[in-house]
Amino acid sequence: MRDPHPPSSKVAYLSAKEILRRFEIGDLRSIEVIDLLLSRVEAIDANDSKVALNSLAALSDDARYVAKERDDERARGVVRGALHGLPVLIKDNIEAPGLPGIAGSTALLGRGTREAALVTRLRDAGAIVFGSTNLSEWANIRSPRSTSGYSASGGLVANPWSLDRSAGGSSSGSGAALAAGLAPLAVGTETDGSIICPASLNGVVGLKPTVGNVPATYVIPISTSQDSPGPMGRNVDDVALLYGVLSHSAAPDSVPTPTFAVATTWRTGHPQTDQLFDDVVASLRESGLSIVEKEAALPGETEALDEGAVLFAELFDDLSAYLADRPGDGVRSLADVVAYEDVHRDREQIYFGHENFLTSIMSGGRAGGLYADARRRNLEWAVKTCLTPALADVDLLIAPAFGPSWKSDLVVGGSPGPASPVTTAPAIAGWPILSLPMGLIGGLPVGLAVVGRANSEWTILDGARRIERVVHQRGPMPLPSWLPASRG
């Protein structure tokens, strides 16, 4: 296997802010970064490479042209915005001209793409849309047996820490590509856990913003009430930089030091992960942060059933409306997708079916009999029973996110490993949540989750920055180890 960390990787693993600094002093140019990343993609990501990380769905044909344009502009003293000359990857359920935007499904191959509002914001800020990332097909909503990181169009994404381990989902490729040094910044999407999971499993930082704070126009939907695109990067500062562009917002001049509560009931059940979290919390207290302990309500069977009823109903309405509006010929509704996948089952249903799509169609959408009461109960539990009491008198909740990555298994199905319930209430409420690395367990990264009230992203980012500083004092995160597949 080629060395995934040759001398050139020193540039590939630079932070976005350090790359910008080098641009400013003339020590680095955008075209140099793009060319290095292109050679890196060929060596460690493409299907014919020795490693075949498989994190990318497509590369932009104009990346080198745009990089030269940004370099020329900077030489003339023109800087478009906060991301001028930086390459950014977008998840392949986000539309952008020249990229597939197919959510991993062959049903959308060849359909025209428009420019998502968030992509326009990236370009206006001077970013180079470098390519799109593979994902769990249809953002992991199609089947209860789906394997995170697998799609019919893109295959299975590997985890650069250990190639037989899951990269999480559904923003699998975004997390893996960042960890592998294929771009400094990426955009994922989350309905419930789809940014937090791959961030935790790949040892990167991911933020799901408050629903609505980043536009979801021309992003293939699951649920209007829970979907949110969000920034991902290798450190908190870079995620804050990207969030400011995506949300059209700026960090306040000063943020009071946030207060924290440990959500004592939100544990992963993985002894080593939970112990590491406790050790990090002890170090945070020693650093002077105010941390109390709170019990946060646990989701039960009713909450899970209600969330499913809401998601399936909204999927029926929202995805069908999206497909009917998408340019080009092809599937125009969720029922059309099911029919297409039945005809093309030898490609689309090799490992699992579309049971959840059938449930969604049977729901009747928002007009169906289950939706209204399920949504009301879900919101009441998430906001009134869980989050509001747990956040009383503090700014942020913290908990372990996921245990170490599990082995990908297309035969058995998803088989996700240990996870805390930290994503559930924020997902239902549409409130923000972030994951950042807190260390390694058995050579695999695990994340620490930070939850805040609606529209508290800048407080979350400030709190995460303080946590990150303490975690790094305990020992900096190494580069991914690229362990080969193993038995056991």
Where in the sequence numbering do the catalytic residues fall?
Answer: 91, 170, 194
Cα distances (Å, whole numbers) of residue 160 to 178, 320, 477, 480: 10, 35, 14, 6
Cα distances (Å, whole numbers) of residue 150 to 55, 121, 403: 10, 29, 20
**Angle at CA of residue 254, ends 208 and 465, nearest 5°:** 45
User: Is the distance from CB of 341 to CB of 122 less than 8 angstroms?
Assistant: no
Distance CA 407, CA 168 (A): 10
CA atoms 144, 147, 148, 154: torsion sign: negative
**Angle at CA of residue 45, ends 41 and 48, nearest 5°:** 105
Q: What tokens appear for 478 in the block?
A: 């190494």
407 DSSP 8-state letter: B
Strands 185-190 and 87-91: parallel
Phi, psi for 483 (deg, rounded to 5):
-65, 140
Q: Is 128 exposed, middle or buried (0-12, 13-18, 19+ CB in 10 A)?
A: buried
The CA radius of gyration of the chain, in Å to the nearest whole number, is: 21
User: DSSP strand E in 29-154: where?
Assistant: 56-59, 87-91, 128-133, 150-151
Q: Give the SS3 label for residue 149.
A: coil
Distance CA 311, CA 471 (A): 36
Helices (runs of H) and strands (runs of E) counted in the chain: 17, 15
Beta-carbon contacts of 241 under 8 Å, excluding residues fewer than 6 positions away, are: 16, 17, 82, 83, 185, 233
Q: Give the SS3 label for residue 400.
A: strand
Closest CA to 33 of 92, 74, 80: 74
Beta-carbon contacts of 484 under 8 Å, excluding residues fewer than 6 positions away, are: 1, 163, 164
SS in 3 state form for 153-182? CCEECEECCEEEEECCCCCHHHHHHHHCCC
Phi, psi for 232 (deg, rounded to 5):
-135, 145
User: Is the distance from CB of 256 to CB of 155 less than 8 angstroms?
Assistant: no
Cα distances (Å, whole numbers) of residue 290 to 23, 31, 282, 433, 465: 39, 45, 11, 19, 15
